[in-house]
Amino acid sequence: MPTTSRPDLLLPADPGLRALARQLYALAAEQPIISPHGHVDPALLAEDRPFPDPSRLIIVPDHYLTRMLLSQGVPPAELGVPTVDGSPVETDGRKIWRRFVDGWHLFRGTPSRLWLEQTLTEVFGVDTPLSPATADAVYDEVAARLAEPAFRPRALFDRFRIEVLATTESPLDDLAQHAKLAADGWGGPGGKVVTTFRPDNVVDMEFDNWAGNVERLGAVAGEDTGTYAGFLAALRRRREAFIAAGATCSDHGHPTAQTLDLDAREAAALFERGLRGTADAADAEAFRAHMLLEFARMSLDDGLVMQLHPGSVRNHNRWLYARHGRDVGGDIPQATEYLHALTPLLDAHGNDPRLRVVVYTLDEYTFTRELAPLAGGYAALYLGAPWWFLDSPEVLRRFREAVTETAGFYNTAGFVDDTRAFCSIPVRHDVARRVDAGFLARLVAEHRLTEDEAAETIVDLAYRLPKRVYKIGEQL
Amino acid sequence: MPTTSRPDLLLPADPGLRALARQLYALAAEQPIISPHGHVDPALLAEDRPFPDPSRLIIVPDHYLTRMLLSQGVPPAELGVPTVDGSPVETDGRKIWRRFVDGWHLFRGTPSRLWLEQTLTEVFGVDTPLSPATADAVYDEVAARLAEPAFRPRALFDRFRIEVLATTESPLDDLAQHAKLAADGWGGPGGKVVTTFRPDNVVDMEFDNWAGNVERLGAVAGEDTGTYAGFLAALRRRREAFIAAGATCSDHGHPTAQTLDLDAREAAALFERGLRGTADAADAEAFRAHMLLEFARMSLDDGLVMQLHPGSVRNHNRWLYARHGRDVGGDIPQATEYLHALTPLLDAHGNDPRLRVVVYTLDEYTFTRELAPLAGGYAALYLGAPWWFLDSPEVLRRFREAVTETAGFYNTAGFVDDTRAFCSIPVRHDVARRVDAGFLARLVAEHRLTEDEAAETIVDLAYRLPKRVYKIGEQL
Amino acid sequence: MPTTSRPDLLLPADPGLRALARQLYALAAEQPIISPHGHVDPALLAEDRPFPDPSRLIIVPDHYLTRMLLSQGVPPAELGVPTVDGSPVETDGRKIWRRFVDGWHLFRGTPSRLWLEQTLTEVFGVDTPLSPATADAVYDEVAARLAEPAFRPRALFDRFRIEVLATTESPLDDLAQHAKLAADGWGGPGGKVVTTFRPDNVVDMEFDNWAGNVERLGAVAGEDTGTYAGFLAALRRRREAFIAAGATCSDHGHPTAQTLDLDAREAAALFERGLRGTADAADAEAFRAHMLLEFARMSLDDGLVMQLHPGSVRNHNRWLYARHGRDVGGDIPQATEYLHALTPLLDAHGNDPRLRVVVYTLDEYTFTRELAPLAGGYAALYLGAPWWFLDSPEVLRRFREAVTETAGFYNTAGFVDDTRAFCSIPVRHDVARRVDAGFLARLVAEHRLTEDEAAETIVDLAYRLPKRVYKIGEQL
């Protein structure tokens, strides 16, 4: 779904470069969307119900938006963000919308602004520029669209030309929504909507109620997770179930990139300390680190591509967490070390091309020093797209400028939208494609690449590369 | 005071971008100057005496200049920098000037070069390009200007269109110069020249003669600073006096950004160890860190905006420090961690919009990873302008490119000149305005912002935002 | 040897900037090449034999190339990289060439691609674009050239307009090749090919067989290296021999930038623990750090310029190291701290302009925070060109954008090719000159520098500055 209302959006200002970039972008814009990692609720597509009102669709669940207003003193409750204790928040969609639009200027120069504007114009066909004066009119236009059948999730999925969308579930999930999708011809291996195996809640001892989760894992998998061997067996069972539901990837969100290769006895001892409640923070870190080695070994057996998302300090804003819970914008990046952290994993399996590990970062100050040299030197490593806070035009550009010279294009994994905002998916991919077009245009203009090569590369980046790296469409 | 001799100075080279940037810059150039943080000696404006000779005005006190010549082997004594032990240095202004101009090529590509050139052309009207061949002629022209009444400090202040200038004083200062300014109608709350409360010399146990300073603080404030409670009371008293002299801000220069929320007993114990001379480096760090929490609490009471300048290793060049003392260019940045360091302060008051903390950095490799996400997620935090070594065209541009996407424009605090070089103030602000114009022009050219929005934003950045964030003109 | 087939290669896309850059580049392109640091085998020029086949010349020894193919699963053995245990590898030059060219797209956007393309067109006159379809034809053309007398090393040296090339040898080297070069009028003090004193293998206790190397050092130098005093004496002797063979520099490759000023007794104790085999990792680090102080003192006596290359984790890829040994691409950068690490050295001699220390980095995230302020504040410090992984167009540009504002141009040391690939030397210098021309053109276009100054500066950067900083052509 190429965007049309601002054809030169994000393309370089220099007229010569822009002309080149326009041609390259046109090739990218034709490609279907591969969305190998994100957080769309599978029920959305399984049930295919109409979306709720514009505010509940666009504002309430988007912590990029509510966070920015909080930074200027607007409490999330005024924007309808639910509270942990159920204390009342604003529920009138129109009031939430107005409150939000009052702070619209705060988003100048941000990707949130770009994504929302493009969602309004390209997805909803609303050409009225958003401003406090037009807030109601825009709200009404979007609300009217949402009532139309063409704006139901599955219709949009097809209109967005999404080829495959991967959602993310925990091993405790019964995958019922994915079963329904498969029954409707939308899911299952090689299907349009697939799942991803994300075991953080049973791997991270610091997760709320980890021991309870481990017990539930046993129940779901039909294994005795009271022992470490049973725990591993249960994980293997759930991976099988996920693969049967179309998964081609696992995903791991850890505070650091630490990996560790313990022997089975040490690992079992850690696991038992965890269950007994006597594990400390170092134990928890060691167990997470070691489990990445276990998952790498499982990947060598079952073929799931590993995704590693390190470096986020979760729920840093304690007031926000106490009032509104997880995943509402209180996560902040910390400095992330990769070289020494990944050494145990790379020593064990780094040169094995059958393993595939896609590493993401929240710390752009590792691009040239660690990430590009590692990805350019180990067969198993790929660089994921700049992630969260970095999934923006300026950083997407800096990412290419920084990593290409050492890792090339083909050790990167293509764009990932990583979003729960379904309606913004085409727009986010569009932004990345435009930035890549601008970067490639510069390489051509500087005589570092031929036009033919750039044309092939932009299609690889937009479509072929993510499909291949994440094994999209493959049956494991 | 817009600059005129090089109308397109620093504007983007691309003709389309330049045309846009020119229009935006013109709007910024019309704005008066808000200088909310700097080190101009208030006596300069209180006494309004003529400036001394060109070298004593421009070279001797500017460690950016003397430092660069030292890096090429020219001892500061040859440039007239006074010695700690009073051993003789060059005193002939003309000789100092010539010696400096011999090294003029060293400054190619530096902001010092830009600032000095613009000061010569725009402030002194000297159009002769500086070079060894013209050194004497330029010296004579500047010297001639300095003798004219129009080049007295207050006349220049008005010509520079400075609306408010904040100086920086320690709590031990009797604020006599500010009293004189107030008496002349130039100072006091809401006045043209105001002070800033900078308590480092009574907060940092590693400061020369800290215990003596604490004792003097008691004397100045009329409190018994032999106890921690009395120490806090004395600080509160001095803050009142500073507010009465027009202060709207405090300022805190610490080696790290560490904050700490001790209970009163622990804090008192640290304070007492300091007075007894038994505090170690960790005690000093803990006390500095804790005092930031105390100052945050005082700010909630009295309204002073906190400025935090962390990350400088003071007096790193020991030879320079031994011979020439503090503040002559021996300070070097170190890696600065913000996320964990600021946690205690943010846990306590980070979501309280009544508190305002402006954080600066010497470490640009924190822009996207820590600073922008923090400022974009906490109501109390604002990002100060790139500081010292980073207050340059390239970094001002990179700052906008890095932080805007996550923090927007409105969690930044506007430009700060941070200078003791009074004559360079308009020129430094002009440089920042030009860079912002170029950045905004690119956003417009890339269809990320409308021209109207860019026009409003540039005026916000140049004038409205610093005025609001630093409470300039407000009566606390 | 200016390049001609793509006259605007790497110059800015904007037509105005490009025109300016073209003029500046033309001035740089006229300059002879000063190559003050690299790893060309002196036997190449001493013996002046024809080069072997294209693959053995271009692919097998270039770990930039074999590393990238490894990152996509191609084992180095398939590219002819010799094994430690002598197990067989591909030996057919044509097969190696084809295998490599199959992965040619992997290098899009990398400096390896640029260097190889330019080597083919500018050095070998091969205009056929490289691709799997043309692999054989290009191989044959290069092979034909290599058989011609004009492509013997000395003929190319003259055609490349190399004025001086420094090779790198260990103190254990007998310098026989350099003696032959001197006998032929090619070497010795002030000669065309000189050596560099690189003592890592006798300084780093963690080096393979360090104690044995120390013993050999004694034998080569005619000193008893069983004592620390004898060890130092032997190093001094070898420095004399290196100076007699034309050396003007030493070079030090350490995992960190740590320096340390131990007293003689402590240093001797460390040395003895090392010889007895009881030194631990901390001892090894302390000894390396201390030896930098010893070498600084020797430099003050004999005038050798120190080069410091810190921050590489050697042989990180253990599989690669086990199979193929050192220097085949398994080195990865780590975060490098300079400020505190260099303090002991700077405290002792940092303000002494007789000492000259050129510091390199693999960690670009120190450019503005540490490296530029240090080089701009200490007389003894110069910044080396961006090194390995960073010796690329984008980083060369970012280096100028980052360090110039604080260190200026004249605290940088000029480009260093640091290569063992003799045929790529002119091409690598050409790339750096083009990037500098583009940067200077922008400064001119933004009215930050006059055209005359830019013209002088580009020649300084390309020729005068490296010659002066590394004392090239000087007789110590």
Mean pLDDT across C339-360:
97
Percentage of the residues of chain C whose pLDDT score is greater than 70? 99
The per-residue pLDDT for C4 is 66
**How is residue A420 annotated by DSSP?**
S
C268 domain residue, yes or no: yes
A35 domain residue, yes or no: no
Residue C1 has pLDDT above 60, yes or no: no
Mean pLDDT across A300-317:
97
A408 interaction partners in chain C (CB closer than 8 Å): 68, 106-110
The per-residue pLDDT for A3 is 55
As a residue count, chain B comes to: 476
Q: What is the pLDDT of residues A121-156, one digit of tens each?
A: 999 999 999 999 999 999 999 999 999 999 999 999
| Cα→Cα distances C338→B317, B335, B379, B454, Å | 14, 10, 35, 40
The per-residue pLDDT for A5 is 77
Q: What is the pLDDT of residues A64-92, one digit of tens each?
A: 999 999 999 999 999 999 999 999 999 99
Q: Does B111 touch chain C (CB under 8 A)?
A: yes
Half-sphere CA count of C95, side-chain side, radius 13 A: 9
Coil, strand or helix at B183: helix
Q: Does B337 touch chain C (CB under 8 A)?
A: no
The per-residue pLDDT for B316 is 95
Q: Within this chain, do residues C158 and C296 fall inside the same structural domain, yes or no? A: yes
C-alpha of B112 from chain center: 15
Contact A309, A253 (CB under 8 A): yes
A277 domain residue, yes or no: yes
B255 interaction partners in chain C (CB closer than 8 Å): none
ipTM: 0.96
Q: What angle do CA B444, B446, B449 make, to 5 degrees?
A: 35
Q: Within this chain, do residues A145 and A167 fall inside the same structural domain, yes or no? A: no
B428 domain residue, yes or no: yes
C23 domain residue, yes or no: no
| Cα→Cα distances B49→B154, C182, C332, Å | 9, 69, 60
Q: What is the pLDDT of residues B182-221, one digit of tens each?
A: 999 999 999 999 999 999 999 999 999 999 999 999 999 9
Helix A15-29 to helix A425-445 angle (10° resolution) is 130
A318 interaction partners in chain B (CB closer than 8 Å): 347
The per-residue pLDDT for C128 is 94
The per-residue pLDDT for B4 is 66
Mean pLDDT across A50-62:
95
The mean pLDDT of chain A is 97
Taking the CA of residue C245 and the nearest CA in chain B, the distance in Å comes to: 29
Scanning A12-51 for CB atoms below 8 A from C yields 12, 14, 16-17
Cite the beta strand spans of A202-268 per DSSP E: 249-254
Contact C391, C413 (CB under 8 A): no
Q: Within this chain, do residues B287 and B383 fall inside the same structural domain, yes or no? A: yes
- Is A411 in Cβ contact with C13 (below 8 Å)? no
Taking the CA of residue C397 and the nearest CA in chain B, the distance in Å comes to: 12
Given B97, B119, B149, which residue is the final one in a domain?
Answer: B149
Measured distance CA(B336)–CA(B50) in Å, rounded: 41
Q: Within this chain, do residues B456 and B368 fall inside the same structural domain, yes or no? A: yes
Closest C-alpha to A258, from A362, A188, A339: A339
Q: What is the pLDDT of residues C416-462, one digit of tens each?
A: 999 999 999 999 999 999 999 999 999 999 999 999 999 999 999 99
Mean pLDDT across C256-261:
98
Q: Does A298 touch chain B (CB under 8 A)?
A: no
Residue A333 has pLDDT above 90, yes or no: yes
Taking the CA of residue B219 and the nearest CA in chain A, the distance in Å comes to: 40
Percentage of the residues of chain A whose pLDDT score is greater than 70? 99
Q: Within this chain, do residues B360 and B382 fall inside the same structural domain, yes or no? A: yes
- Is C108 in Cβ contact with A453 (below 8 Å)? yes
pLDDT band for position C108 (cuts 50, 70, 90): very high
Q: What is the pLDDT of residues A381-440, one digit of tens each?
A: 999 999 999 999 999 999 999 999 999 999 999 999 999 999 999 999 999 999 999 999
A30 domain residue, yes or no: no
Measured distance CA(B462)–CA(A192) in Å, rounded: 51
The per-residue pLDDT for B3 is 56
R_g (Cα) of chain C, nearest Å: 22
Number of structural domains in chain B = 2
Write the secondary structure of chain C as one string of H (helix), E (strand) and C (coil).
CCCCCCCCCCCCCCHHHHHHHHHHHHHHHCCCEEECCCCCCHHHHHHCCCCCCHHHHHCCCCHHHHHHHHCCCCCHHHHCCCCCCCCCCCCCHHHHHHHHHHCHHHHCCCHHHHHHHHHHHHHCCCCCCCCHHHHHHHHHHHHHHHCCHHHCHHHHHHHCCEEEEECCECCCCCCHHHHHHHHCCCECCCCCEECCECCHHHHCCCCCCHHHHHHHHHHHHCCCCCCHHHHHHHHHHHHHHHHHCCCCEEEEEECCCCCCCCCHHHHHHHHHHHHHCCCCHHHHHHHHHHHHHHHHHHHHHHCCEEEEEECEECCCCHHHHHHHCCCCCCCEECCCCCHHHHHHHHHHHCCCCCCCEEECCCCHHHHHHHHHHHHCCCCCEEECCCCCCCCCHHHHHHHHHHHHHHHCCCCECCCCCCCCCHHHHHHHHHHHHHHHHHHHHHHHHCCCCCHHHHHHHHHHHHHHHHHHHCCCCCCC
Residue A1 has pLDDT above 80, yes or no: no
- CATH code, domain with B169: 3.20.20.140
Q: Within this chain, do residues B112 and B176 fall inside the same structural domain, yes or no? A: no
A334 interaction partners in chain B (CB closer than 8 Å): 339-340, 369-370
**How is residue A33 annotated by DSSP?**
E
Sequence-distant (6+) residues with CB within 8 A of B95 are none
C7 domain residue, yes or no: no
- Is C317 in Cβ contact with A378 (below 8 Å)? yes
Scanning B246-265 for CB atoms below 8 A from A yields none
Measured distance CA(C244)–CA(C247) in Å, rounded: 7
Q: What is the pLDDT of residues B260-303, one digit of tens each?
A: 999 999 999 999 999 999 999 999 999 999 999 999 999 999 99
Output the six-digit token pair for C319. 């599989």
Position of tokens 């690299």?
Answer: C38
Nearest-CB residue to B73 (from C376, C377, C379): C379
The per-residue pLDDT for C327 is 87
Q: Within this chain, do residues B84 and B169 fall inside the same structural domain, yes or no? A: no
pLDDT band for position B321 (cuts 50, 70, 90): very high
The per-residue pLDDT for A4 is 65
C104 domain residue, yes or no: yes
Q: What is the pLDDT of residues C129-152, one digit of tens each?
A: 999 999 999 999 999 999 999 999
Q: Within this chain, do residues B374 and B225 fall inside the same structural domain, yes or no? A: yes
- CATH code, domain with C140: 1.10.2020.10
Mean pLDDT across B73-88:
97
- Is C319 in Cβ contact with A351 (below 8 Å)? yes
Mean pLDDT is lowest, of A298-302, C4-8, C57-61, C177-181, for C4-8
The mean pLDDT of chain B is 97
Predicted TM-score (pTM) of this structure: 0.97
Closest chain C residue by Cα to residue B103: C410
Q: What is the dihedral of CA A360, A364, A369, A374, to 10 degrees?
A: 10
Measured distance CA(A371)–CA(A377) in Å, rounded: 10
Range of the domain at A111: 51-149
Residue C313 has pLDDT above 90, yes or no: yes
Given C149, C182, C213, which residue is the final one in a domain?
Answer: C149
Q: Does B395 touch chain C (CB under 8 A)?
A: yes
Q: Within this chain, do residues A78 and A226 fall inside the same structural domain, yes or no? A: no
Q: Within this chain, do residues B337 and B209 fall inside the same structural domain, yes or no? A: yes
Q: Within this chain, do residues C135 and C235 fall inside the same structural domain, yes or no? A: no
Contact A8, A441 (CB under 8 A): no
Taking the CA of residue B94 and the nearest CA in chain C, the distance in Å comes to: 24
Q: What is the pLDDT of residues A196-247, one digit of tens each?
A: 999 999 999 999 999 999 999 999 999 999 999 999 999 999 999 999 999 9
Q: Within this chain, do residues B117 and B196 fall inside the same structural domain, yes or no? A: no
As a residue count, chain C comes to: 476
Given C149, C169, C188, which residue is the final one in a domain?
Answer: C149
